[in-house]
Amino acid sequence: MLQIIIQGLLLSGLYALIAVGFTLIFSVGRVLNLAYGAYLMLGGYAFFYVSQTLGMPKLLGVVAAVAVGVIAGLMKHRFIVKPLKGDMVPVEIATLILAVVLQSAVVLMFGDSSKILHSIIPGVVQVGTVSVPYSNVFAMIVSWTVLIALYLFIRKTHLGRAMQAVSMDQKGAAISGVNPDHVNMMVWGISGGLGALGGVFFASYTQLYPAMWVAPLIIAVAVVIVGGIGSIIGTLIVAHIIGFMEVMTTSLIAPELRGVFTMALIIIVLVVSPKGLFGREEIH
């Protein structure tokens, strides 16, 4: 029981971090970024390259991963989203293809086989009968810190309010002196950074392998669909529902069924409540 609670909390924090970058893009840019999982892959491999291939400090590896994610996000905005003027279907097709291309690039550079990441912080902490790796605790603390900071940023700062404004009414934002293009660009950068950071943690949880962008994409889609697109609080709550559901499935039923219930949940919520349980499309 204790094991389920601890693992559930650890996994859910990470899922919330992964999903929030995805939800930001949908709210502000109004496109489903199907290449979102590729940020996680890029982040994971950037961390691997800097900290394990080059042998630099792990923290530098994390910073490098986030930087790669931010740059990837900015480039995607500049070279795909902006020329297509945010037109939803072409952007989705282009981003999905991009993810596959990036996967091939990763295979070319790092090979097809999966890699194990060294722990960011080695060692385990004993909670009752459960041993929890420090790395996972670190991942959860960082995830929560980032989520709270993001929430406060969106609610309390001029730029954050501008992001909300663009997500609700582009013309209204423009005549308030906000350039929707700049805000969009910034959100693509933030989203890339969040995804890459999530990727470092996700790869530490599981493994680093070229196809690792698919599973987190499904998680992000699930959290966003069930939580209602655009709600940070909703994202947080649903990330916990999904996280705990997966942990319970894995430890009580069978590890093979892990993702099945998540996908079943997506379909059920889509049929019952298409706007999600907390739904509206604007960020708040």
Partner 1 sequence: MAILEIENLSAFYGKAQALDGVSFSVEEGEIVGVIGANGAGKSTLLDSIMGMTQTTGAIRLAGADLAGKTTAEIVKMGVGYAPERANLFPYMSVRDNLLVGAYTARDDIERNLEMVHDLFPRLKERSTQETGTQSGGERQMVSVGRALMTSPKLLMVDEPTIGLAPKVCLEIAEVLRRLNKDYGATIIITEQNVNFALTLAERLLVMETGRIRMSGTVEELRENPALTEAYFGH
Nearer to partner 1, 163 or 237 (CB): 163
Question: C-beta of 208: minimal distance to partner 1 in Å?
Answer: 39
Nearer to partner 1, 174 or 218 (CB): 174
Tokens of residue 173, six digits: 């934002």
- The type of residue at 281 is E
Question: C-beta of 169: minimal distance to partner 1 in Å?
Answer: 5
Question: C-beta of 152: minimal distance to partner 1 in Å?
Answer: 14
Return the SS3 of 125: strand
The answer to whether residues 45 and 280 touch, using CB atoms and an 8 Å cutoff, is no
Question: C-beta of 63: minimal distance to partner 1 in Å?
Answer: 30
Question: C-beta of 18: minimal distance to partner 1 in Å?
Answer: 24
Nearer to partner 1, 137 or 224 (CB): 224
Tokens of residue 73, six digits: 């996000």
Number of H helices, E strands in the chain: 11, 2
Question: C-beta of 251: minimal distance to partner 1 in Å?
Answer: 39
Q: Which residues bind partner 1 (CB under 8 A)?
A: 158, 161-162, 164-165, 168-169, 171-179, 182, 280, 282, 284
Alpha-carbon span 249 to 258, nearest angstrom: 6
Alpha-carbon span 254 to 69, nearest angstrom: 34
Alpha-carbon span 22 to 38, nearest angstrom: 12
Tokens 């999982």 -> residue: 37
Question: C-beta of 85: minimal distance to partner 1 in Å?
Answer: 14
Nearer to partner 1, 95 or 164 (CB): 164
The answer to whether residues 68 and 203 touch, using CB atoms and an 8 Å cutoff, is no
Radius of gyration (C-alpha) of the chain in whole angstroms: 18
The answer to whether residues 230 and 151 touch, using CB atoms and an 8 Å cutoff, is no
Question: C-beta of 234: minimal distance to partner 1 in Å?
Answer: 13
Nearer to partner 1, 115 or 161 (CB): 161
Region for residue 230 given its phi and psi (left: phi exceeds 0; alpha: psi -120 to 50; beta: otherwise): left
CA nearest neighbour of 7 among 261, 264, 266, 252: 252
The residues, ordered by sequence, that sit 6+ positions from 187 with a Cβ below 8 Å of its Cβ are 24, 25, 28, 29, 163
